[in-house]
Amino acid sequence: MKSTNSVKNIDSIYKEITAREAYGKKMLELAQQHENLVVLVPDSMRTNCTIDFMRQFPERFFNFGIAEQNTMSIAAGMALEGLIPFVSGFATFLSMRACEQVRTDICYGNLPVKIVATHSGTSSGGGTTHCAIEDIAIMRSFPNMTVMAPSDSRTTGSAVGAALNVPGPVYIRIGRGLEPLVYDDDVDFTIGKAIKVREGSDISFIACGLCVYHAKKAADRLSAEGISASVLDMHTIKPLDVESVIRAAKQAKGVITVEDHNVIGGLGSAVAECLQDHAVAVPFKRLGIPDVFVDNGSAAVLHKHYGFDEEALYAEAKSMLAASVS
């Protein structure tokens, strides 16, 4: 049954909302256009901002309690019946507690289940148990899975909309707080195609998620000193934009990847694999969470602590360029 409630166009309010809220509002918009779209949650409608969807489309909203495995398996069954299920919850639990169900029930059958994982990386502030620093590595290892990490609320809306056109499963990781906007206006968002945030020829930053903002700020600071740094928003980790990675590596004196994720298995690993597969030799550094369980603290504190905030990117770029001329 289609709701007659109107949905305010969210383009004008991205600056005022979090990525989670952008997801919730986008779902209301999409639900009016796609009557087979349903939302499933493991008792997380408030934290992932789908409570308005529950109120406006109660017959298309399903809460299974704190049971991520069951939620994923039921989503697979709904997809087999012609529905388009969006499952949303905490990234750490959707990617690990329900790992087998995602792999076997959803990916094995290449089913159109869309997983929107909130509180990703260090954004939850909940310590080791609630920080999802392994989810990209897990999800990109599954055949048929598309993996995205949009940078702000604006691209979150674009990613959710684009996911509908993918015939198979999609994993979208977003944060928790009021992520700073990377883009003031709409951008051309295409799955598998990186967005060139900034042109540059000395250093190439390749980032995903909220770390795109760190890279953009570091590039601005370098530019003030006459250093040309490019920034690629690699919002899709799988399929990776191989062409853009190779171009960024060949035009610069060094490549730095940055992500709010373990440096093992995430964006940095994907880029390293790409460069190796295509025999592109360039100074290269992966920044993110080292091979440790994270400490307690806010995302800003942890990004600084583990060395992948704006200051760390700036310093790493300077060091890499200094080494290139020594």
Letter for the amino acid at 38?
V
Indicate the pLDDT class of residue 12, thresholds 50, 70 and 90.
Answer: low
Please give the Cα distance from 252 to 283 (Å, whole number). Answer: 9
Q: Two tokens at 165?
A: 């056109």
Report yes or no on whether pTM surpasses 0.75.
Answer: yes
* 144-172 pLDDT tens trace: 999 999 999 999 999 999 999 999 999 99
| pLDDT for residue 2 | 35
Q: At what angle do helices 211-223 and 310-325 cross, to 10 degrees?
A: 50
In the predicted model, is pLDDT for residue 222 greater than 90? yes
* 250-279 pLDDT tens trace: 999 999 999 999 999 999 999 999 999 999
Is residue 147 a contact partner of residue 139, using CB atoms and an 8 Å limit?
A: yes
* Poorest-pLDDT segment among 9-18, 105-114, 221-230: 9-18
| pLDDT for residue 176 | 86
In the predicted model, is pLDDT for residue 179 greater than 90? no
Is residue 174 a contact partner of residue 298, using CB atoms and an 8 Å limit?
A: no
Letter for the amino acid at 21?
E
How many C-beta atoms lie closer than 10 Å to residue 143's C-beta?
10
In the predicted model, is pLDDT for residue 1 greater than 50? no
| pLDDT for residue 191 | 98
In the chain, what are the domains?
A: 10-173 (3.40.50.970), 195-325 (3.40.50.920)
Tell me: cis bond preceding 239? Omega within 30 of 0 counts. yes
Q: Which residues contact 276 (CB under 8 A, 6 or more apart)?
A: none
Average pLDDT, the chain: 92
In the predicted model, is pLDDT for residue 11 greater than 60? no
* Poorest-pLDDT segment among 76-90, 176-190, 194-208, 214-228: 176-190
| pLDDT for residue 15 | 67
| pLDDT for residue 312 | 97
Mean pLDDT in residue range 174-192: 89
Q: Two tokens at 169?
A: 């499963």
